[in-house]
Amino acid sequence: MNITLLAFLQAVLSLFAIVDPVGGIPIFLVLTEGLSDPERRKVLRFAVLTAFILIVAFALAGSAVMKYVFHISLSEFTFAGGLLLVVVGIREMVHTSRGERPAAQQPDDRRKRSHYQALAVSPIAVPLLAGPGTIVTVILFQGQYGQLFAIAACVVVFALALVILHYSALISRLIGQVGMLAVTRIMQIFIIAIGVRFMFMGLREAFPKMFGG
């Protein structure tokens, strides 16, 4: 299988748009409000590690489960996954337009030391970093390019997410709410476009004669 650097960069950019750590900055800051910087970094590291392990597990076993447990072909999953990404992108655009992104109201006990791991796992790791769109995309990359390709893309994207959220307070001050909203909206458009591309790929694989194959 001939995998080019361009294909890898496209995969990284696609996965980065879906994880969208920049758009997750306001949510992360609200969820960790009241924590000291060391405590916030501790929550962040645990959250990113948890999300990464979960996504790698899907990269390793997702296609096998899809094929042998659910008896779903790659073309069927590609189309359904693309449709899901389109729905996710549109839903997120509606939520950000209404100011409804999930976040704000968390009970005070979330901020207690005994609840750091629970906070890191949910909602930061899942679904903020490792949501349905991320899982679907990684399984699709694994099916198209192989496990090492998918895992390598995950390493790059989650490393970027770790750095971005580590400096979330600074980034929030630098670009402001309007800037983060603009970046988030661009990422949402990319998610919809990626979903449409996956849908066409699934149709092309299922009905090659319709597309001149």
Digit-coded pLDDT (tens) for 192-205: 999 999 999 989 98
In degrees, rounded to 5, the angle at the alpha carbon of residue 9 between the alpha carbons of residues 6 and 11 is 110
The contacts of residue 83 (CB under 8 Å, 6+ apart) are 195, 199
Taking CB atoms within 8 Å and a gap of at least 24, the contacts of 4-9 are 7/145, 8/149, 8/152, 8/153
Q: How far apart are CA 24 and CA 124, in angstroms?
A: 9
CATH class (in words) of the domain with range 5-211: mainly alpha
Mean pLDDT by groups of 10 residues along the chain of 213 residues:
85 95 92 89 96 96 87 88 89 71 46 70 92 91 93 98 97 90 88 91 85 66
Specify the pLDDT at position 98: 61
Q: Where are the domains of the chain?
A: 5-211
Query: What is the signed CA dihedral for 203, 86, 18, 207, rounded to 10 degrees?
Result: 0
Specify the pLDDT at position 99: 58
The contacts of residue 162 (CB under 8 Å, 6+ apart) are 44, 45, 48
Q: Whole-model pTM?
A: 0.83
User: What is the gyration radius of the CA atoms in the chain, in angstroms?
Assistant: 18
Specify the pLDDT at position 106: 47
42-57 pLDDT, tens per residue? 999 999 999 999 999 9
Amino acid at 93: M
